[in-house]
Amino acid sequence: MYVLLLGAPGAGKGTQAARIVDAFHLTHVASGDVLRAIRQEDSELGALVRSYYDKGLLVPDDVVIRVMLSRLDGLDGALLDGFPRTLEQAKALDEALAAKGRRIDKVIYINVPTDELIGRLAGRWICRNDGAHVFHERNRPPRVPGVCDICGGELYQRPDDTVETAQRRLEEYFKLTAPLIAYYRAQGKLCEVNGQQDIEAVGRDLMRCLQG
């Protein structure tokens, strides 16, 4: 079985991906992990991926497709996370799977409103003494603003954890993903899950999608 998990940054894909992998014994194929691994390889493809990372550029569709199809080769099934990310990638994946008599069986879209996503992504504060001490303005605020509850260290906010950065990330995501959602909905494969629920409720709905 091939399952695609869609969801914006902050939607909780990581938590739910682990559940799907355990329940259905699938290989979790996350594009970010695959690209980082390829980047370390002493190979033609590794050098190509490195060249984009080193320049701070996005890896183009044709290279991502090569890398991801190579990773999927030989797998009987997988949970795909982060790939396909564009319509071009989705069509290339469909063609590659069809050539082997396979297909994407189900697409799960964890849908969370933008305002909620920004609230989840922004507002994180990290201890300068220990990066494992993480607080959140809404979900886990420190007792004293700017001070770590655990060691008393100064709390700071990374550039990636601001409202402005969260908005930019989400705008980019939805611009790329909206056509994907329409593409898989037209194929009758899309199952939308309300990501505003608690983790357990999201997990139950997700399992119903996969078992239906």
CATH number of the domain residue 57 falls in: 3.40.50.300
Both 150 and 170 in a single domain? no
Catalytic residue chosen out of the listed positions 39, 106, 120, 124: 124
- The verdict on 61 and 25 lying in the same domain is yes
* 82 and 153, same domain (yes or no): no
Same domain? For 149 and 200 the reply is: no
**In the annotation, is 124 catalytic?**
yes
Are residues 199 and 105 located together in one domain of the fold? yes
Residue 95 structure tokens:
């063609």
End-to-end, the C-alpha distance of the chain in Å comes to 13
What is the DSSP secondary structure assignment for residue 147, as one 8-state letter? B
Task: For residue 167, give its domain range.
Answer: 2-119+162-211
Instruction: State the catalytic residue, choosing from 71, 85, 106, 120.
Output: 85
| Overall domain count for the chain | 2
91 close to 69: Cβ distance less than 8 angstroms:
no
pLDDT digits (tens, 9 = 90+) for 185-200: 999 999 999 999 999 9
Looking at the fold, whether 72 and 169 belong to one and the same domain comes out as yes
**39 included as an active-site residue:** no
Residues 152 and 93 in one domain: no
Residue 50 annotated as catalytic: no
- What pLDDT score does 56 carry? 85
Per-residue confidence (pLDDT) for residue 162, from 0 to 100? 86
User: How far apart (Å, rounded) are the C-alpha atoms in residues 40 and 191?
Assistant: 36
Pair 75, 26: CB distance under 8 Å: no
User: What pLDDT is stored for residue 194 in this prediction?
Assistant: 98
- Residue 39 and residue 75 in one domain: yes
Is the domain of 189 the same as that of 128? Answer: no
Single out the catalytic residue among 13, 71, 106, 120.
13
Annotated active-site residue in 36, 91, 128, 158: 158
Residue 169 is a catalytic residue: yes
146 and 166 housed in the same domain: no
Query: Which residue type, as a one-letter code, is found at position 91?
Result: K
* CB contact at 8 A, 179 and 151: no
pLDDT at 57: 87
15 and 103 together in one domain: yes
* Assessment of whether the complete model's pTM goes beyond 0.75: yes
Q: In what side-by-side order are the strands of the sheet with 134-136? A: 134-136, 124-127, 155-156
Q: Are residues 9 and 76 in the same domain?
A: yes
Residue 106 known to be catalytic: no
Binned average pLDDT, 10 residues per bin, the chain of 212 residues: 94 90 94 93 94 90 95 93 95 96 96 93 91 88 96 92 90 91 97 95 96 84
Alpha helices in 40-77 (DSSP H): 44-54, 61-72
CB atoms within 10 A of CB 6: 24
- On whether the CB atoms of residues 28 and 79 are closer than 8 A, the answer is yes
Active-site position among 169, 185, 189, 204: 169
pLDDT of residue 139: 81
For the chain, the farthest-separated pair of C-alpha atoms sits apart, in whole angstroms, at 59
Cβ-count burial of 61 within 10 angstroms (0-12 exposed, 13-18 middle, 19+ buried)? middle
